[in-house]
Each structure stands twice: as structure tokens, then as C-alpha cells.
Amino acid sequence: MNRPAKRCYKSCILLTLLLCVWLYCPVNSNTMDVQSIIQKLNEEHKYNMHLMIDLKVSNGSQKFEEIGYELEVPRILISHTGVVKENFYKIFNMKILTIVRMDMTNLNITFSIMEKLLWRRHYITIIILFQNEDLDLEELFHRCWKQGHTSVLLYWRNSFYSYTAFPNLRVNRLTNFSQLLDYELHQNFQHYKIKVPFVEIPPLCFSYHNRQGHYVRSGIYYKIVENFVTHYNGCLQHEFIDIWKLSLQREYATDLVASGEFAFITSHLAMNESYENSESFNFAALYLIVPAGKEIDQSLYLLVSFNSNMWLMIFLLLFVLFLFIVVVNYCKCGKLIYFDSLLHALKIVIFAYDEVFKGRTFFNYMLHLLFLIVGLFLTNSYVCNLSSMYTSRIYEPDLKTLQDIERTNLGIHVYSLDYDQYLAVKNLPSIVHKRMFVGNNTEFYVNRQNLNLVSIYPSVDDIVDFVLFQQLYVKRPWAKYLPEPMYTIPSTIKLPHRSPYIRLFNRHLSYMRDSGILKKIKTDSQWDGVLSSSIRFFQDTVTNRSMSMVHLQYAFVMWLSGMLLGFLIFIGEIIFGKKCH
């Protein structure tokens, strides 16, 4: 063979080898089996247990039980329906990989077992090994979607399949493991319409027209759902429900959620087994909106300038000065002069004294200097306290605990739907249950919004912050809330059971909570409430209040008391003088 022929032969061999390598590599990289998939899923999610469901134990059950055996992960095998008695989420932490083997003969009963065991945890990863040759993939995955199984991997005819539900259900054949992870992480609703009810309950969910005439929907609960749907490229379909005109009962609201007609509920509902709850985004508390402490009577300012201990010290000082002047007069004159000494002591305390001891001696000078310091200190302290109190105002103590409700004569106006729920709360002071009453629901809503505190109004902290936001520019708020809550409850978004969005929604909700978006949503809802006229900013009715004669009422009383005391001392001196003569 000549040299050119050899070169051509070597080139053909090299080309053949490269072609074989090129053909072999893609096929090898795309080849997947059940064992490798389970191993990679365990490495990715760190499962604590494998749940294996196989109702045909006689046909290849040993081979099925050996799946994932080398991983040394605890396994539970369900081989007949008699052992299915309780939901797994009540027993395990549900970090579980579910492996199911089924065929057309046991398809319905297998799905029933999955629904029972995976109740409220339907979103975990499920691997289905299907044995029959004939299978409608769309029908099978539609059944999975209806039960809320969104992370499903089907092994059929030596191939793996998954599905996407947006905008329409579509079956996808998987060629490598990375495609499965992409379907789990990168969700796109593709403008899929998600139906939600829309109610007017500020600040949870409400609407208004802005200055440009655009229709704006806002609210804490609504914005959370809207942010989730918008983030994943979905569309919201609204259905307005007027809860204020309808005689809406709690049972009707529960049935409305449990029916699955709405994907999310943009309002507050109590915990119930008839529907699902998202992860908590706030630990809410039920507070009582109560009146703030009123300003004390204007005539009392002259007395409250000093507290009781200070007044006691002043009286003790008056007594000490009286005794001191009596003793000094006795040492100098040899006489016990009581009435004159008492008047001098009073004049020293109020900083209005004249010459107490006659004579310009050093001793008298030091005594007058002492009297000057005492009178100046007491008078200036009193005047400074009185002036600051006139400026800042003094108010009665605010209510701090639930037991403090006894200090008021107000009843607790309860919304009719919440009355039974409040009565069921334990460990409340008896005064709270005694003061509760059910009145007109419209009056309840209007008075609470306008802070017309003819009664005490219980509300969740979001609503409390919303209505009290109206006092932002008020110098002295007239409405506050009791710091001690009636009870606490986690704030969650309500979804129907088997919801396919709950896993993705909980993940997105945690991102919103950690990033501070939820706090911004709450603040924006308060300002939107002002723009929508649901609430308004209150202003002080009295901006400048001058002093009146009421402030001097006790001053006249004190002046009259001083005049009476002086008159009595004068009479006493006359009587005492006559007896001495």
C-alpha cells in the first residue's frame, strides 16, 4: 500500500473513531435510570425517608424493594390499603421521596392512597413507575395536577416524563437530570389566569381611583398574592364579593374557600381544617382600641406640680423652720412667739419674707442667707414645674392591661361573626367577657374607622395600625390600643386543599419576608388607605389654648386659705396677749 493510501486509510479510521465518540457521548450523557435519578435527588434534597407504594407485591416486588437500597435511607413500604389510616404530615417532617409503582388496574386506588398519605404535603417529589404499555400521559398528569402533585417524574417505556401546567398542560420528555431541576426551580405561569376573590376590607384588600383616574387595587393580603403572581408571569382574575351587603356567615366563607373555586383568599379568615394555610408571614395579635388618657382638670395643675413626697418635704421644712424661729426668738428675747414665727416660716417657704430677726449681726446675716436659698429653690422649682406642665399638659394614666378596662364604663363592641370566637378564648379576665356585646356591624365599622370611641373595639394588629395611622399628625392621640393582646394568631394566606401553588408560594413568601418587602407593603397600604379616603388624617381641634380662670381656681382657694390662716393667727395673738397681761 502506497503512502497516500495509508494516509487515507488512517484518516478514515480516525474519522470513524471520532464519529463513534460523538454518537456515544450524547447518548451516554442523556441516559437515565431510576437508580441514578433517586441517588441524584437524594444528593440534591437530602431526604430523610423513602415512601414506597406498591399494591402488586406478587409481581416483581423484590426488585421494586431494592430500588434505592444502597443509599441506606429509611423506607416505608405500603403494599395494601389496610395500613393507610393517618396522614403522614402529622408523624414525619415530610422530607420524603415518594416512589410509586402502578398500572391501569390499581391506578385509582393508588392515587387515593397518595392523597391520604400525602395530605397537605402533596407537593413533595413523586416518582411513578408505570408498567402498562398503554397509557394516556396527559390524562395521568392531569390527575396529578388535580390532586396538587406538581413535582412528578414518570418512568414509562424506559423514558422519563414530567409536565408543565402553564398555560395548558403539556407533557415533557426528559433526557437528563438537569431538566428536572429546571422544571422545579424556573417556573413560568405564562399569563395563566389565577382566580381570586376581591373584597373591600381595608387594609387587607381594597380599591380606589387615583388622581389620574386609574383603578388601583391595594391591601396587605392582596399585594402579597399579586406580587407572587406577577413575579411568576401570571394574571389575576378577580371576582368581587360585597361582604357588607351580603349576610355573610362563617360557614359560607369556609365553603367558598374549600370548594377550590379561588386559588388564594385575599382576606383574613380563622384557622380551619377545611382549607390550607400558607407559612406565617407575621405573628398577629388581637388588640383592643381604647381611648387615651384624658387631660386632668385645669384646676389641678397647682397641686400636681409637686408630687406627694415633695409636698411632704415642704410641710416638714415648714415645721422645722417654725421650730427654728421659735427657738431663736426664745434664746434672744426669752419669749415663745408662736404665731409670728409661723407667719415668718410661711413667708420664707413662699419666698415673700421680710426681716425675720432684727439687728445686723453676722449670725442674722447667715440666717437670712439660708432663708433666701430655701425660698428661692422651692419657689423656682415650683414655678418651673408648673410652667412645663402648662406647656406639655398632664394626662390621666393610659390603660395598660386588660384588667384596666374596669376603670372605664365602656363596653366592648364585637363584630357579630367574631363573637363566638372571642368567647372561646381562655384565660381572659372576667371583665372582658362581661363587657362584650354584639351591636350593629355597620356602626362597628364606621366608629372604628373614624375613631369614634363610644365603645372599645377589638381588631387585628394590621387593622389597628391602619386606623391609628390617621393620628400621625395629631399632637396628642385620643385613641390607643392596649399593649396586652387578647390572643395571638399567625397571619397566613388561605388556599384550598391540594393547591398546586402552595410550595412555590411559601418559598416566595419567605423571600418577601426576609427582604423587607412585607413591611413596605404594609406601609404602602396605609398611605393607599389615605388616598382612597378609607381613612383620613386628623388634626388637632385646638391649636393654641390660652390660660383661663379655671387654672387659677386653686390659687384663689390657696389665697383664701392664707387669708383665713392669717386672720386666725391675728385672733390668736390677741387672745394670747390678753392672757399674758
What pLDDT digit, counting tens, does each position of 90-112 carry? 788 778 899 998 888 888 999 99
**d(C-alpha 401, C-alpha 149), whole Å:** 48
Contacts (Cβ under 8 Å, ≥6 apart) of 518: 224, 281, 282, 512
Angle 502-515/517-531 helices, nearest 10 degrees? 80
pLDDT by residue (tens digit) across 21-59? 444 444 343 446 788 888 888 888 888 888 889 887 655
Query: Residue 527 and residue 202: Cα distance in Å, rounded?
Result: 11
- Amino acid, res. 176: N
The partner residues of 239 in beta bridges, in order of sequence, read 197
Residue 176 pLDDT exceeds 70: yes
pLDDT band at 372 (very low <50, low <70, confident <90, very high): confident
Specify the pLDDT at position 136.
Answer: 87
Q: Do residues 509 and 279 touch, judged by C-beta distance below 8 A?
A: yes
Using the predicted structure, report yes or no on whether residue 9 has a pLDDT greater than 90.
no
Q: Are 267 and 242 in contact (CB under 8 A)?
A: no
Cell of residue 469, nine digits: 395611622
User: Quick one: three-class SS letters along 291-336?
Assistant: ECCCECCHHHHHHHCCCHHHHHHHHHHHHHHHHHHHHHHHHHHCCC
- Does the structure show a pLDDT above 70 at 428? yes
String of DSSP letters for 169-236:
-EEEEE-SHHHHHHHHH----TT-EEEEEE--BTTTBEEEE-TT--EEEE-HHHHHHHHHHHHTT-EE
* Segment 306-319, tens digit of pLDDT: 777 777 887 888 88
Q: Which three cell numbers stand for residue 206?
A: 381594597
Count the alpha carbons within 13 Å of 78 in the hemisphere toward its beta carbon.
Answer: 25
Q: Has residue 544 got a pLDDT over 80? A: no
What residues contact 281, with CB distance under 8 A and at least 6 apart?
224, 491, 492, 493, 509, 512, 513, 518
Q: Which residue has the higher pLDDT, 420 or 542?
A: 420
Strands 494-495 and 457-460: unpaired
* pLDDT tens per residue across span 207-256: 999 989 899 999 999 999 999 999 999 999 999 988 766 555 677 777 77
Q: Cell digits for 568? A: 386666725
**Averaged over 134-161, what is the pLDDT?**
89
CB 348 within 8 A of CB 371: yes
pLDDT at 185: 57
Residues whose CB is less than 8 angstroms from the CB of residue 189 and which lie 6 or more positions away in sequence, other chains included: 166, 167, 229, 232, 233, 234, 235
Interhelix angle 339-349/308-333, nearest 10 degrees: 130
Candidate ranges 126-140, 218-232, 347-361; pick with highest mean pLDDT: 218-232
List the single range of 3-12, 173-182, 224-233, 250-259 with lowest mean pLDDT.
Answer: 3-12
d(CA 195, CA 263): 6
In the chain, the percentage of residues whose pLDDT exceeds 90 is 33
List all residues 6 or more positions away from 280 whose beta carbon is below 8 Å from its beta carbon: 490, 491, 492
Q: What is the mean pLDDT of residues 158-174?
A: 88
What average pLDDT does this structure show over 532-556? 74
CB 118 within 8 Å of CB 85: no
| Percent of all residues in the chain with a pLDDT value above 70, rounded to a whole number | 84
Say what the pLDDT of residue 556 is.
73
pLDDT band at 67 (very low <50, low <70, confident <90, very high): low
**Residue 87: its pLDDT value, please?**
83
Q: What is the residue-averaged pLDDT of the chain?
A: 82
End-to-end CA distance of the chain: 167
Say if residue 275's pLDDT is above 60. yes
